[in-house]
Structure 1
Amino acid sequence: MAKRVLFALFTIAFGAFAGAFAWGFFFLMNTGIALLWEAAPNALAAQGLPAVFYPLVFCTVGGVVIGLFAKKFGPYPADMNTVMASVKQTGRYEYDHMGASFFGALLPLLFGGSIGPEAGMTGVIAGLCTWVGDRLRFVGAEMRELAEASCAAVIAAIFATPLFGLMVPAVGAADDSDGPRRISEVRLDVAKPLKIAVYVLAVAGALGAMALLGHWFGASGGLPRFSEIAFGASELAWALPLMAVGTAAGWLYFPAGAAARALATRLGDRPVAKAVMAGALLGAVGTALPFALFAGEAQTEQLALIWTTVSAGMLLATGFAKVIVTQFCLNLGWRGGHFFPLIFAGIALGYGLATLTGIDPVFALCAVTGALMGAVMRQPLMTAVLLFLVFPLAGAPVLLVAAALGSLVPVPHRWLGK
């Protein structure tokens, strides 16, 4: 009994650390972005120097830095599914490259990469959990559950969705630039009720730490949440066309990935050349479409305030461009995840279509984003659970139908990179 209580306390502590780590990572990322993307261009403008091509120059320089980093330290961080697959299969994740995983995840985000932060954070937390487990032998066979629970905790903290954090380690989340895949199930060594309890304790610790740090120092990271949605005759009439556009954008993710992998293969074992190519493309697109840069958290909040002042064409171009740019970043060495940028792509498309149709914007966002993410993730229920971090629960029917329709669109096997 005492061992179980002690293990529960360790689980809560690890969960809290995972939440604090996620908050700190977002804080560093946002502080660095503010310095590099706001203060620096403003200083240039004050000196009378043009800042219009700043994205092109800075993203290309970022490609050089990221490429040199990869050349020296290797391809870190690993993607989220790779980390969790290792944990599920072996009960551990090797921790000899935690520093490389941390900085490898942070650098692309600082240079404006259209990628998400989840890959690096998951690897660092799993590695740290394994490191502690190697020094606390009394934890024994339950170390596997603690490592998995820590992954669940950091995922819940990143996405601010407890249910998604609990579900991802169990079923996988297609967090792979090569296309949808699931983590293979392995036999567990502890009873299912204990496993559920461990997950819940870890996620509660993570979200509690995030909430406390946000209360004391201000919120750090995460997508904003839309609180209201309207259903009417106009919205229902436009539902299927909206979902069709979102599905098309999600489908585009796969040929874009195939093209990016073909370019990566052509460039061969030249990490600097690959990263510079991705940076130049990202910077060129970002010069014309500024919202195509970054993961999308802060940009979603900004767009929610100004979307009525942006043309529908610009919004639609941003959404489709972001889907393509994300794949080129991921496959040419700007390592990270795809969840945040693709959610933002759906939001940009939804606002563009709301401008054209005049319907409720949140309904449009739900329909388009649900279909886009459903087409990419191929798991409608997981898609809906993930998108609850952004959209109200009242939008659940729209999200589920859109995700289901998106997941039905076939994707040629040659585009999946298997």
Structure 2
Amino acid sequence: MTPHRDGSSVRFVIVAVLLALAAAGAMVVFLEVQYTGEALFWPKTPPVPFFTLILTTVGGLAVGLCLHVFGDHVQLLQQALTEFRKTGRFEPRHLPAGLLAIYLSLVFGASLGPEVAAIDLGGSMGTLAGDRLKHEVRRLATVGIVGSLIGFGVYLGLTRTTGGALYPLPPMGEILPLYLLYAAVLGLVGAGAGVLFIAAFHLFSRMMEPLAGQYLVRGAAGGIGLGIAATAFPLVLFSGQNEFVTVLETGVAAGAVALLLLAAAKILASTWCMATVFKGGPVFPLIFAGGTLGVAVSVLFPFIPPAVAVPAVMAGMIICVLKMPAVVIPIVALVFLQWEILIVVTVAAVAGYYATRSVMMFPPESEGEGAG
């Protein structure tokens, strides 16, 4: 290797390390500001009647106004990743307005997660670094994404329980062969719920087609719909990251019917948000909906341990929507931090993936198009 190449390699490593640290720090700051905003806007006791409906409607209008003024440059998670695979870059000039739209969506209670912020933030920072160096744009954008996701993970780690798991479950105990059969069947159950998620998104997207470009009207519709759902089922607000802990603590007492209705409400609220103007990702909403269905299964069939039912249904649902086994399996396993759950998650994810691999949220010919 020539001295020039040695110097370039060293410079790339230094830039990559600094970029990853900066992206991780930026994501931690974004999440802290987000949760501070949520605490500011959402008091524990509603000060006026229909407070939830009022606030979500104001939020929808705020996001709609942001898109009207700055344009809609925030894609949904799968679209953003597909576009990156094609072009190898993000557009840094769209980042400030995009983060504002995502931030307003999240603090006003949109039933979506912040993972799109992580992808856009890290990818744009990496693209900017690559543009400045005039090479390695794709690699540096990837480094930026990894860095922001690490920051995401670090921040989530601060909210974990003493045992380390984001969602602790009773130990499974001995892994019986029958449990793997349960995992396969429940992976199909979760995949079926994922099909409903995709169908709801397609339905709501078609409903919004006549309002393309009318961001304020769509924002009002999005906020009103979310407010109605959240008035009936308050746990559908926000990403579901913290709300699923409540489901684990109170789900058995609530009963299977209430859990099934809650999961359905989360699916409808999340897909309605995605189809209107709210910006955010589907991962934590899918974790919430799939996990809630898993708790319902455990209530209906007590002979299936929660450590089998919850991660199996969750994995099947997420894999159906995201179609990324190499990403979904470790994510679901890591939120529970029980090594034996990895086997259950793998079996369920494989079953769900092959059963629904032809069911796409974004058909190949439309991938990469804007969310509208």
Alignment TM class, shorter chain as reference: 0.7 to 0.9
Gap regions ≥5 residues in structure 2: 1-5, 367-372
Identify the residue that residue 94 of structure 1 maps to in structure 2.
91
Distance 2:314 2:63 in 1: 30
Q: Could you report, residue by residue, the CA deviation over 1:380-400 in whole angstroms, capped at 9, with x for unpaired residues?
A: 343212212313331122111
Deviation at 1:106, TM superposition (A): 0.8
Deviation at 1:360, TM superposition (A): 2.0
Q: 2:149 aligns with which of 155, 159, 162?
A: 155
Deviation at 1:229, TM superposition (A): 3.0
> What is the Cα-based RMSD across aligned positions, in Å?
2.8
Deviation at 1:332, TM superposition (A): 0.9
Identify the residue that residue 30 of structure 2 maps to in structure 1.
25
Q: Could you report, residue by residue, the CA deviation over 1:230-269 in whole angstroms, capped at 9, with x for unpaired residues?
A: 4458856754553343122111012111111111113233
**8 Å CA contact retained: 1:374, 1:405:** no
Identify the residue that residue 270 of structure 1 maps to in structure 2.
214
Q: 1:367 aligns with which of 280, 300, 312?
A: 312
**8 Å CA contact retained: 1:108, 1:335:** yes
Q: Could you report, residue by residue, the CA deviation over 1:345-397 in whole angstroms, capped at 9, with x for unpaired residues?
A: 11111112222222322221111101111222234343212212313331122
Using a 3 Å threshold, how does the CA distance of structure 1 residues 389 and 134 change in structure 2: closer, same or farther? same
**8 Å CA contact retained: 1:78, 1:101:** no
Distance 1:332 1:352 in 2: 29
Q: Secondary structure at the match of 2:92?
A: coil
Gap regions ≥5 residues in structure 1: 161-206
Identify the residue that residue 201 of structure 1 maps to in structure 2.
none
In the alignment, residue 355 of structure 1 is paired with which amino acid?
V
Identify the residue that residue 166 of structure 2 maps to in structure 1.
224
Distance 1:3 1:129 in 2: 17
In the alignment, residue 207 of structure 2 is paired with which amino acid?
L
Distance 2:190 2:249 in 1: 22
Distance 2:51 2:68 in 1: 25
Using a 3 Å threshold, how does the CA distance of structure 1 residues 381 and 151 change in structure 2: closer, same or farther? closer
Percentage identity across aligned positions? 27
**8 Å CA contact retained: 1:88, 1:148:** no
Distance 2:165 2:64 in 1: 29
Identify the residue that residue 114 of structure 2 maps to in structure 1.
117
Q: Could you report, residue by residue, the CA deviation over 1:117-162 in whole angstroms, capped at 9, with x for unpaired residues?
A: 1212322222223333433x3xx4334312221112223443x3xx
Q: Secondary structure at the match of 1:8?
A: helix
Where do residues 161-200 of structure 1 align in structure 2 (5 Å cutoff)?
A: none
Identify the residue that residue 3 of structure 2 maps to in structure 1.
none
Q: Could you report, residue by residue, the CA deviation over 1:153-177 in whole angstroms, capped at 9, with x for unpaired residues?
A: 223443x3xxxxxxxxxxxxxxxxx
Using a 3 Å threshold, how does the CA distance of structure 1 residues 31 and 330 change in structure 2: closer, same or farther? same
Q: 2:273 aligns with which of 302, 315, 329?
A: 329
TM-score of the two chains, using structure 2 as the length reference: 0.84
Runs of 4+ in 1 over 6 A off after TM superposition: 411-415
Using a 3 Å threshold, how does the CA distance of structure 1 residues 328 and 306 change in structure 2: closer, same or farther? same
Distance 1:415 1:366 in 2: 22
Identify the residue that residue 250 of structure 2 maps to in structure 1.
306
In the alignment, residue 148 of structure 2 is paired with which amino acid?
V
Q: 1:75 aligns with which of 72, 75, 81?
A: 72
Deviates more, 1:295-304 or 1:102-111: 295-304
Using a 3 Å threshold, how does the CA distance of structure 1 residues 252 and 21 change in structure 2: closer, same or farther? same
